[in-house]
Amino acid sequence: MPETISMVAFQNGDKEAFNHIFNMFYKRVCFFAAGIVNEDGAEDIVQDAFVKLWERRRGFDSLNAVKAFLYLTTKNSCINTYKHQKVIDKFPSFQVEVAEESNIIYRLIEAEVLEEVQQAVQQLPQSYRKVIYLSYFQGLSNQETADYLNVSINTVKTQKVRSLRILREILRHSPTALVLLMHKIL
């Protein structure tokens, strides 16, 4: 669905256009929020942000405006939740620390880049995806991965090398995504 068509449909209350936008941004905004508040609270905050987006849908003319709104709304709600939790926890000084702005910016960038990496991993052949997921995202050793997949350890090693070559090629346009991928691997 081209951006102009989806934005017009979205502004007019088309639920399919909303679902398209929701699917495009939900995971990455949840990841962003989970870096500031706990994971359960993050999902509630993000869902509230999407409700606010729906209520104000007529004011958005681009996906970039939608994305900015979602991140800003989520950030503000997370900070409010964080402040509230600090008060509840009754720190001795009763001073509420605001989540550091640099941490928030870092989480925003990380969420966007991680989405790029996940999309690149989805382009791998299924057997390669399984090896990458088990090895790097689940932290299994080569032997544990081989045992889990019922293949030889050499198959795992070969598929990892080939996967990384493919991922480097897919992500060559995004040095930040490459750095995150290498950080995840190392």
- Give the C-alpha separation, 186 to 54, whole Å: 41
Per-residue pLDDT tens for 27-47?
A: 888 888 888 887 778 889 999
Domain chopping of the chain, boundaries: 1-99, 114-186
For domain 1-99, give the fold.
Rna Polymerase Sigma Factor; Chain: A (1.10.1740)
Report how far apart, in Å, the C-alpha atoms of 147 and of each of 18, 22, 40, 61, 177 are: 42, 37, 33, 51, 30
Tens-place pLDDT, residues 55-79: 998 888 888 889 889 988 998 888 8
Architecture of domain 114-186: Orthogonal Bundle (1.10)
> What's the CA gap between 66 and 84, in Å, rounded?
27
Residue 36 neighbours by CB under 8 Å, 6+ apart: 42, 75, 78, 79, 82, 99, 103, 104, 107
pLDDT mean over 166-185: 67
> Same CATH topology for 1-99 and 114-186?
no
Predicted local distance difference test score (pLDDT) of residue 40: 73
